[in-house]
Structure 1
């Protein structure tokens, strides 16, 4: 289990790096576009489409696993004050199981959508320039799969241990 946790931590560090690079790329892209539009009247083509279809999707869905690792997503706090340590541990495991099933289903269905969009070559037109958007559809199943993996590990290694 320690090896799995180390692999998970490595993947989450990689996700944090990807997220940081995406934020920096987003800022540089938008600042460059605004500067070029105002200084030379030649904006970067398809900035809006690239920002909405790539940067925003990656910033919204890739960090799901990182947020789950920190316990920042799904928590059952309504009945926690009434539960003992053992019941809290089982509650955490049940929430992790339900989250894993939901994230797994989301990963599967978004994977099918990504494959369909890959086959058809989905794109948007931006100033008469076709911008391929099908690669961005693969970011969703990646984010959901890593979140499912994180919650599955949490089922067997809950954040709260039962006091003996």
Structure 2
């Protein structure tokens, strides 16, 4: 069972790494686009049409949404361990498992309704105006439920790890190389 768990989390770790790479590419693309805009405006007195809207609607979602699950898995985001670390083991374990269940339910609802919103946006052909043209936005709507879905998967791995191990753990990978901590 633990072997399958380790291999599954290893595969998921590769998916998280792809999200990290996508966010990095988006960040460098956004920086390049902004630098190009500043150069064009200051040297050639020409502004890229719709630059603000393109950064806001294309680059920002690509930079932020795929990396959320990576930040969650690395323990960067504030967690409940700051509050319950002084309590005994059973209380910590119970609170953590309850909190994970609540988070899984909430993120499942957000994934479900986010997916419905993305589908309706795709059907309607949602777009945003920039410099007199309409640019499609609906493909980026799908990043939201995909990001929340990946958070659910990470939380399920964390829930399973806390059920299998005797220790209380707030991240799945204790040693930062995407493998489960074996106690």
**Count of residues paired in the alignment:** 163
Q: Secondary structure at the match of 2:135?
A: strand
Matches within 5 A, 1:1-164: 1-73=5-77, 75-76=79-80, 77-84=82-89, 86-158=90-162, 161-162=165-166
Preserved contact between residue 93 and residue 156 of structure 1 (Cα < 8 Å): no
Pair 114,106 (structure 1): closer, same or farther in 2 beyond 3 Å: same
Once the two structures are superposed, residues 137-164 of structure 1 have per-residue CA deviations (whole angstroms, 9 ceiling, x without a partner) of 1111111111111111111013994259
Gaps of 5+ in 2: 168-182
- Give the TM-score, by structure 2 length: 0.80
Preserved contact between residue 124 and residue 132 of structure 1 (Cα < 8 Å): yes
Over the aligned positions, Cα root-mean-square deviation in angstroms equals: 2.1
Pair 73,94 (structure 1): closer, same or farther in 2 beyond 3 Å: farther
Gaps of 5+ in 1: none
Cα distance in 2 for residues equivalent to 1:105 and 1:51: 28
